[in-house]
Structure 1
Amino acid sequence: MARLRAKGFAARFAFFFFGETIGFGGVFSAARNVPMKRRCASSSLNFSSLGDLAMAKTPLAQRPEFTQLMGLFHGYWSSLDLTIDYAICQFLKVTHHQAHLITAGMTSGPKFRLLADLIGRSDHPKRDQLLGSLNGIRAIQKRDVFAHSYIESFSDSVNFLSRTTGGTYKATKHEFTQSSFEKHILEMVKVSMQFYDALGASRADLQTFAEAALSLNRKSKTSTGKPSTSKS
């Protein structure tokens, strides 16, 4: 991913990723470049080299314009996961170590439900914005669909075939063209940035929180694991 050069609006979001990477602003920059790259690729077909024609017949799921969007989604989701865990920590008013112990075994659905309830009961000055963006993420994210489905691919579309993981069995087909898939991913990026902006966390906040997961691991290794005994 190219290093973020833009300033202003996009630069405000260069805080999500843990470590030395450029952050969510870089993801947003890459997302904005996808339509341009797709148009350039389409224009090149006017010159109809054998390589261009071969690429046009390649199933969409195997072409760069699709795989770039899939990578964008999973990169964004990793960033969002960190931010959601941090937000749970803040609204529960627990330590970083306690928050990691709480969230480490939780899947995204229970996390979202817990956080929505915590935000709704809070007096956060941007409570409505946080709830609105969080509910927007919950409504359209399709994370499990993109991560766990079978993919059926054609020259101009893909189908994600998902199956229920519990209860009555049901298989569902989620159909996307290149254009609709791109629109879906970019909408997810947009709503996620709105949540981050309303939360008001800094890169340093997220960095410290993420590092606490590692320090908790080291702390666990120093424990004797022996229960304390009462002398009474």
Structure 2
Amino acid sequence: MTDKKLAVRDEFTSEFGRFFGIWQATELALDYAVGKYLELADEETHLLTAGMDFNRKARLLTALVKRNNDPQQSAILASLKIIQNESLRNVFAHSFVDHTDTEVTFIQRNRHGNYDPIEYTFTLPSFIAHVEKILRASIAFHDAVGLTEERYEEFASAALRVNTKPTTSPVPPNDKA
């Protein structure tokens, strides 16, 4: 592998990292929105969503938003649909990469059923455009669910306040009971 290959050049790896930064912020926003629509405290929301995969949370949020008459309903659902169906997050995270000096091809191998790999090929400009599209959808999602930067930081820090371990030892059983 040489540094002339697109997949290892700074301009591509920077965008690749940017994509995953956007994804992480979006996933946190999705968790926040689930808690908002279920009217849960931040800490309870983190407990609920920590073990859920993205698609399960997205399906839950979609159902919650559809049951609510939020004026942002269509904006939430439209941006979430782009994020969920067009981001290619799993492709980027789990594929093999083949690359030339001008293209990067992600080779996705299916985990179930017949072996039928799928290729997703990007030039640097097309990959940048893809990342920008997901960024715009993510910003629209954040805005539609009402997640400000201040609220984002507050919600994120709540994950560290969740304490599921008791702070004192339980009372020993009473042998005379």
TM value normalised by structure 2? 0.88
1:67 counterpart = 2:24: no
1:106 counterpart = 2:52: yes
Which of 157, 167, 171 aligns to 1:222? It is 167
**Structure 1 105/174 Cα, relative in aligned 2: closer, same or farther at 3 Å?**
same
In the alignment, the residues of structure 2 paired with residue 85 and residue 225 of structure 1 have an alpha-carbon distance, to the nearest angstrom, of: 32
1:129 counterpart = 2:86: no
Match in the other structure for 1:40:
none
1:125 alignment partner, SS class: coil
Equivalence map 1:75-86=2 (5 Å): 75-86=21-32
In the alignment, the residues of structure 2 paired with residue 66 and residue 179 of structure 1 have an alpha-carbon distance, to the nearest angstrom, of: 10
| Offset at residue 191 of structure 1 (A) | 1.0
1:160 counterpart = 2:106: yes
Q: CA RMSD in A?
A: 2.3
1:108-162 deviation digits (Å, cap 9, x = unpaired): 1111111111111111121111111111211211111111111101111011011
Percent identity, please: 35
In the alignment, the residues of structure 2 paired with residue 220 and residue 168 of structure 1 have an alpha-carbon distance, to the nearest angstrom, of: 45
Would you identify which runs of 4 or more consecutive aligned residues in structure 1 move more than 6 Å? none
Which residue identity does 1:88 align to in structure 2?
A: V
Aligned length: 173
**Structure 1 113/168 Cα, relative in aligned 2: closer, same or farther at 3 Å?**
farther
1:92 counterpart = 2:57: no
Match in the other structure for 1:151:
97
Which residue identity does 1:131 align to in structure 2?
A: L
Match in the other structure for 1:178:
124
Ranked by relative contact order (alpha carbons within 8 Å, sequence separation 6 or more), the top structure is 2
**Structure 1 64/208 Cα, relative in aligned 2: closer, same or farther at 3 Å?**
same
1:222 alignment partner, SS class: coil
Match in the other structure for 1:117:
63
In the alignment, the residues of structure 1 paired with residue 38 and residue 101 of structure 2 have an alpha-carbon distance, to the nearest angstrom, of: 48
Equivalence map 1:2-21=2 (5 Å): none
In the alignment, the residues of structure 2 paired with residue 212 and residue 195 of structure 1 have an alpha-carbon distance, to the nearest angstrom, of: 21
In the alignment, the residues of structure 2 paired with residue 104 and residue 165 of structure 1 have an alpha-carbon distance, to the nearest angstrom, of: 24
Unaligned runs of 5+ in 1: 1-53
**Structure 1 92/167 Cα, relative in aligned 2: closer, same or farther at 3 Å?**
farther
In the alignment, the residues of structure 2 paired with residue 176 and residue 216 of structure 1 have an alpha-carbon distance, to the nearest angstrom, of: 41
1:94 alignment partner, SS class: coil
In the alignment, the residues of structure 2 paired with residue 81 and residue 208 of structure 1 have an alpha-carbon distance, to the nearest angstrom, of: 15
Match in the other structure for 1:196:
142
**Structure 1 164/222 Cα, relative in aligned 2: closer, same or farther at 3 Å?**
farther
| Offset at residue 166 of structure 1 (A) | 3.7
| Offset at residue 169 of structure 1 (A) | 4.0
